């Protein structure tokens, strides 16, 4: 345990009090009721101006002697912050309901040609069968083709390709226009089996670690099979 000076202890105590105040904030309880406490606190720390913070969090999060910046984000991606931004976006085209970082999702960098994946959640890996290390840097379209040795029969693949064609064209245009999109397309797991992917893409502007606003797109994947039973 590091030894803290009296001043540092006072600072820590003040942070704890502030966190408690955030929990009690009526603003948070009405607008963010469905978002987890961790979500709320993290957003509060990173965006102190958004929800009228009780104190100066921007400086506290940088100077904190005990908790170094990004210790809880090995990927250095503020995924919870992005999800919050998506949740609070004005005029959403699609209602995603409540989303947390256990959803299957990827973040793509739309400032780089062909919008490569820069982040994928564990649920995305489980859904598709691909490890993050295999797909970072790739465009998501790799999911539209079965891996070579495990491909289903040629006519099945061709039928799926034809089904996908108009939907992908619509998706491509919407992405180019920086619009939200939702399509149901055939994708393939790494083992070659096809699945119906209900894909929603949401473009966001997001301020990176270095303070620069970037053009990202977050893509949410759901296997239709996983929701059909719940629809009765």
Ligand X SMILES: Cc1cc2nc3c(=O)[nH]c(=O)nc-3n(C[C@H](O)[C@H](O)[C@H](O)COP(=O)(O)O)c2cc1C
Among 59, 172, 178, 205, binds ligand X (CB under 6 A): 172
| Window of 2-10, 34-42, 72-80, 217-225 that interacts with ligand X by CB under 6 A | 217-225
Residue in the structure block whose two tokens are 């629809």: 231
Q: Give the residue with the Cβ less far from ligand X, 28 or 104.
A: 104
CA distances from 152 to 147, 223, 224, 226 (A): 10, 18, 19, 21
| Window of 10-18, 65-73, 91-99, 197-205 that interacts with ligand X by CB under 6 A | 197-205
Q: Residue 76 Cβ, how far from ligand X at the closest point, in Å?
A: 18
CA distances from 109 to 140, 194, 215 (A): 12, 26, 7
CB 120: neighbour CB atoms within 10 A?
Answer: 26
Among 83, 106, 120, 160, binds ligand X (CB under 6 A): 106
Among 45, 115, 204, 222, binds ligand X (CB under 6 A): 115
Q: Residue 181 Cβ, how far from ligand X at the closest point, in Å?
A: 9
Q: Give the residue with the Cβ less far from ligand X, 35 or 199.
A: 199
In sequence order, what DSSP letters do the residues of 23-75 get, joined into one string?
A: HH-HHHHHHSTTS-HHHHHHHHHH-TTTT--SS-HHHHHHH-SSS-TTTT-TT
Rounded Cα–Cα distance for residues 187 and 223 (Å): 9
Alpha helices in 148-197 (DSSP H): 154-176
Q: Residue 9 Cβ, how far from ligand X at the closest point, in Å?
A: 44
Q: Does 25 bind ligand X (CB under 6 A)?
A: no
Q: Residue 3 Cβ, how far from ligand X at the closest point, in Å?
A: 46
Handedness of CA 134, 136, 139, 144 (dihedral sign): positive
Task: Using DSSP, state whether 91 is helix, strand or coil.
Answer: coil
Q: Does 168 bind ligand X (CB under 6 A)?
A: yes
Q: Does 40 bind ligand X (CB under 6 A)?
A: no
Strand-pair category, 105-109 with 194-207: unpaired
In degrees rounded to 5, what are phi and psi of residue 204?
Answer: -140, 150
Q: Does 82 bind ligand X (CB under 6 A)?
A: no
Among 79, 82, 201, 204, binds ligand X (CB under 6 A): 201
Q: Does 222 bind ligand X (CB under 6 A)?
A: no
In degrees rounded to 5, what are phi and psi of residue 3?
Answer: -80, 130
Q: Give the residue with the Cβ less far from ligand X, 30 or 133.
A: 133
Q: Give the residue with the Cβ less far from ligand X, 28 or 117.
A: 117
Residues found near ligand X in the complex (CB under 6 A): 106, 108, 115, 139-141, 143-144, 168, 171-172, 175, 185, 187, 197, 199, 201, 217-219, 221
């Amino acid at each position: 345990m590091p030894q803290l000076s009296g001043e540092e202890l006072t600072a820590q105590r003040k942070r704890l009090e502030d966190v408690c105040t955030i929990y009690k904030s009526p603003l948070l309880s009405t607008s963010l009721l469905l978002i987890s406490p961790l979500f709320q606190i993290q957003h509060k720390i990173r965006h102190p101006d958004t929800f009228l913070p009780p104190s100066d969090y921007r400086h506290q999060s940088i100077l904190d002697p005990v908790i170094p910046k990004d210790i809880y984000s090995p990927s250095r991606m503020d995924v919870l912050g992005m999800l919050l931004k998506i949740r609070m976006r004005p005029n959403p085209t699609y209602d995603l309901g409540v989303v947390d970082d256990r959803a299957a999702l990827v973040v793509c960098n739309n400032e780089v040609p062909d919008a490569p994946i820069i982040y994928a959640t564990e649920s995305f890996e489980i859904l598709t069968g691909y490890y993050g290390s295999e797909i970072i840097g790739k465009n998501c379209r790799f999911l539209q083709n079965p891996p070579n040795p495990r491909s289903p029969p040629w006519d099945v693949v061709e039928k799926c390709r034809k089904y996908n064609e108009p939907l992908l064209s619509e998706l491509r245009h919407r992405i180019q226009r920086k619009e939200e999109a939702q399509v149901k397309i055939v994708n393939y797991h790494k083992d070659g089996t096809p699945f119906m992917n209900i894909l929603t893409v949401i473009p966001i502007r997001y301020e990176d670690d270095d303070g620069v606003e970037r053009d990202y797109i977050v893509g949410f994947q759901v296997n239709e099979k996983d929701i059909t039973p719940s629809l009765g």
